Amino acid sequence: MRRWVVVLLVLLAVVIFVSPGIVGHLAERNLKNSLSWAESESDDFLVTEEKFDRGWFIAEGRHRIELKHGDFRSGILNLTGGDAGDQIPALVVDTRIDHGLVPITSMSRKSGSLMPGLASTVSTLKLDPGDGNLVAIPGTLVSQVRLTGATASRYLLEAGSFDDDEFRADWEGADVSMTTDSSRRSLSYDGTINPLSARAADTSLRLGLTTFDGESHYTDYGLLVGAIALSIESMSLRGAGGEEFTTGSVMVDASNDLVDDRVNGKARMAIADFSIPGVGDVDVAMDVSANGLDARSLQAIIAEFESAQSADDPDAAMAALHLKVEDDLQTLLSAGAGLRVDRFDVTLPQGEVTTKLSLELPETAAAADFSWAAVILALTASADLRIPVALMDLALTANPESAALVAMGILKKDGESYIVNARYEKGLLTVNGAPMPIPLPGR
């Protein structure tokens, strides 16, 4: 009995005092893999390690997250009135890692835990406005790296405010959670961001209560599939040029999946009280879906598109994109697919514009025998559009030439609306019942 007690004590000593040094190597590798994964998820961000000091029980590191040259960076500069040479603020992340199968040192800090794992981490954030003077960002990111390599993180932010001569922000708190598997191929998340506002010079942002949740994972084709639900209570954005956009509630619910090498997806969106200068408040509701997209060719097209966006000369790369994706596009179309817009409604002060659209393309000959004429002949499609008379009268006043659409029967008056009911099949287009043959090559 005494011998077993000694054995248990030795094992306990190994777990508590010897394992941290060994596990520390694994925890450091896990952190670096996580940062590499985060950077690879978007071409807009650059993550660099400024320092990393690993001890036997505790490691401390600092990493910097910056915006690369790209559309996201350009958008921020346009919004703030800056130019390409301006410095975009960077995020500095300081992380303490308590490592060991039993991270006993984590108990000396808030949110510490003795839960077995590779590491228990706590990160704090700072903002570098561009002059090197770091400004602390409130909130704490706490993570647990499990024995399997999976990571569970939670960001907690208490209500507060910040104010200096150039920038003011007020927030009511946030609670965001995220979990990834060891391979970083699967991600789940959810969170609540309470109302916040920020103002700098002539630029301002106000965001109402925001909630979200979702999950995603990579398929063997490299495609990201999953689901997301987002709800924003209200939003207001003022740019440096004085333009202001406000909305009431915003709701987005989208998902996609992979079944038998085919990608299917659907999305719903609703925006209430979207205020447009010179137009008034507008409501938008949309419900779209796609099905049967060939996964391999779709991923190849997406990869080429992303490569063009991150090229040294994005405009030139995008201009030449059609040449690079031509074969994959032909494969995608030859495999067949379907697209439906079951609802696209825009409610204006003059009335509601409604749109429905359907495209169905059956599987045709192999890509080697591809022809655009065959695709067009195989396609079946329908479109239904309804426009209020009051809105159409405004269009006719602003552009008298549009009266030709009414004269040709493309727009047909139906009570208090103008309608378009279009059908297409086997090269024949009918609009409001009238046939309109489409000339095709070789016909």
Containing structural domain, residue 42: 1-155
| Domain assignment of residue 266, yes or no | no
Confidence of residue 3 (pLDDT cuts 50, 70, 90): very low
Whole-prediction pTM: 0.74
> pLDDT tens across 310-365, in order?
777 878 888 888 888 899 999 999 999 999 999 999 998 888 999 999 999 998 86
* DSSP of 116-168: -SSEEEEEEEEEE-SSS--EEEEEEEEEEE-TTS-EEEEEEE-SEEEE-SSEE
- With respect to residue 334, please indicate whether it lies within any of the assigned structural domains: no
Residue 237: what pLDDT?
85
Q: Tell whether 101 is covered by a domain.
A: yes
pLDDT score for 118: 60
Number of domains comprising the chain? 1
Q: Is residue 8 part of a domain?
A: yes
Q: What is d(CA 443, CA 441) in angstroms, rounded to the nearest whole number?
A: 6
Domain membership flag for residue 79: yes
Mean per-residue pLDDT for 86-103? 68
Summarised one tens digit per residue, pLDDT across range 27-85 is 555 555 555 555 555 556 677 777 777 655 677 878 787 766 555 555 555 544 555 55
Instruction: Give domain status of residue 229, yes or no.
Output: no
Task: Tell me the two tokens of residue 340.
Answer: 């439906």
Q: Say what the pLDDT of residue 12 is.
A: 36
Inside any domain, residue 34: yes
More confident residue, 119 or 267: 267
Q: Do 442 and 405 contact (CB within 8 A), yes or no? A: no
Q: Is residue 85 part of a domain?
A: yes
Reported as a single tens digit per residue, the pLDDT across 208-228 is 999 999 999 888 888 889 999
Q: What is the pLDDT of residues 430-441, one digit of tens each?
A: 999 888 766 655
Higher-scoring residue by pLDDT: 125, 4: 125
What is the average pLDDT across 239-265? 89
- Tell me, what amino acid is at 197? S
The pLDDT value given to residue 440: 55
The DSSP secondary structure of 427-442, one letter per residue, reads TEEEETTEEEE---TT
Average pLDDT, the chain: 78
Averaged pLDDT, 363-386: 84
pLDDT confidence of residue 21:
39
